[in-house]
Structure 1
Amino acid sequence: MTKIPDHVKRSRSLWTNTGRRRPPFAIPPAVGQESVWDYPRPPAIVPDDREVTVRFRGVEVARTTHAVRVCETASPPTFYIPPNDVRLELLAKSDQRSFCEWKGQASYWTLALPGRPPQAAVAWSYARPFPEFDRIRDYLCFYPARVDCLVAGRAVTPQPGGFYGGWITPEVVGPFKGDPGTSGW
């Protein structure tokens, strides 16, 4: 586990949207739906037993009924898959890294399919997350804009904007971080 640096603690304290109060521009959820504006900050880790499948051009890369969703204010959930349910032989770790103030340093994965050139990063994981996110240690989350992701047999819509990797499913309403004009969220 990694200790949370003071500058990260300060950054965390600056968030104004924390899931405690839905802003007026949020889409009201219907029965059976969730508003991303009701998700907490810091994010919540929520077990999800629906079948989650990840494919690339017809090749199954992952399948599980043991995913966990990370639910954070303003973003569609990200589905993290246990490494035992991922065909790791189809992936290669890249040199790419990023930092999340809640989870810590992320490592990225590319597809390593025989006879195909390397792809852009299709997944990320946290080998040494901050203590409160140890539950997702080594779990992989895939970008639904780069691979086909399904939840309970239904195709996932990628989070807008190209940077974030949220999974939009029918029960989730926004608006979502990543849409034009949302960089301040």
Structure 2
Amino acid sequence: MPYDRTFNWEPSRRWVRGYKGAVAVVDSRAAVLVWEPGHPVPRYAFPEADVRTDLLRPAENPPAGTHEGATRFFDLVVDGEVAYNAAFEYPDLPGYLSLEWFQRAEPVLDRWLEEEEEIFVHPRDPYKRVDPIPSSRHVRIEIGGQVVADSREPVLLYETGLPTRYYIPPKDVNFDLLVPTDTHTRCPYKGQASYWSLREPVEGVPADVAWAYPDPIPAAAAIKDHVAFYNEVVDIVVDGVKEERPVTLFTTRLAEN
């Protein structure tokens, strides 16, 4: 896995396209994956010839000190709509352009494809695995002393860098204790999630504590409609043994909700 304190890049053999509306701004079979220091997920950079540079103009107000010292920034103009600082060049990758993708309030492009599959949020990391495996373990989820789910048919999802997530079949979840919310998130490895909060709030348990993927991507089909809970804030008992609550990249955010 690329070291997270240095600038790394490697070729990708995937055909990558990015669209603004119906306009293909990027169409490349020679993309490279780039890992910036301190960023846990990669982004793509593309040969300039594979980017619609006719839609780019020098940035009016380029940001300083971002993207490993990039000094060349470009605004993207499509059908009169401007996305500022949408593209940039890494000093260590001359001749390649990267487009802003994630961590922006408004996305630069509307749609990204790897081959014919739409991808969300950020490129999938080839060094990260997401393995949903059906199990016969006995898993019980408790919140505030109440049993919210109890199953001997969970799907255990093993994801690099995260604790095991226990996805429970809907028949084994007590939905009387939950209420659906309007929250939706996207994951590049699983798809779009829908959420539930507790019907009766419990101190220390945030909103949107449970989620499911009604229409997961094919690689995660085993978790379809199954419900998972944040291990960080609920009690999970597996085969009679209560698990410790892990500290993860979600812990701080959950504490703030």
TM-score interval for Structure 1 and Structure 2 normalised by the shorter chain: 0.5 to 0.7
The answer to whether the 8 Å contact 1:111/1:122 transfers is yes
The answer to whether the 8 Å contact 1:107/1:126 transfers is yes
Cα distance in structure 2, aligned partners of 1:104 and 1:54: 24
What one-letter code is carried by the residue in structure 2 that aligns with 1:4?
E
Helix, strand or coil at the partner of 1:138: coil
Cα distance in structure 2, aligned partners of 1:161 and 1:58: 23
Alignment match, 1:97: 184
More strand per residue: 2
Which consecutive residues of structure 2, in runs of 5 or more, have no partner in the other structure?
A: 1-115, 252-257
Greater relative contact order structure (CA < 8 Å, 6+ sep):
1
**Closer/same/farther in 2, CA of residues 110 and 8 from structure 1, 3 Å limit:** closer
The answer to whether the 8 Å contact 2:134/2:222 transfers is no
User: Is 1:157 aligned to residue 231 of structure 2?
Assistant: no
Greater radius of gyration (CA): 2
Deviation at 1:128, TM superposition (A): 1.1
Alignment match, 2:225: 138
Alignment match, 1:59: 146
The answer to whether the 8 Å contact 2:156/2:166 transfers is yes
Cα distance in structure 2, aligned partners of 1:116 and 1:101: 31
What one-letter code is carried by the residue in structure 2 that aligns with 1:80?
Y
Alignment match, 1:81: 168
Q: Say which of 103, 112, 123 aligns to 1:11.
A: 123
Listed one character per residue, the Cα deviations across residues 132-164 of structure 1 (whole Å, up to 9, x for unaligned) are: 222211100011222211111212223313517
Cα distance in structure 1, aligned partners of 2:218 and 2:198: 29
- Give me the TM-score of the superposition, normalised by structure 2: 0.47
- Give me the TM-score of the superposition, normalised by structure 1: 0.64
Deviation at 1:74, TM superposition (A): 2.2
**Closer/same/farther in 2, CA of residues 53 and 70 from structure 1, 3 Å limit:** same
Deviation at 1:76, TM superposition (A): 2.0
**Closer/same/farther in 2, CA of residues 10 and 52 from structure 1, 3 Å limit:** closer
Count the aligned residue pairs. 135
Q: Kindly, what percent of the aligned residue pairs are identical?
A: 34
Cα distance in structure 1, aligned partners of 2:193 and 2:117: 15
The answer to whether the 8 Å contact 1:47/1:69 transfers is yes
Output the aligned Cα RMSD: 2.6
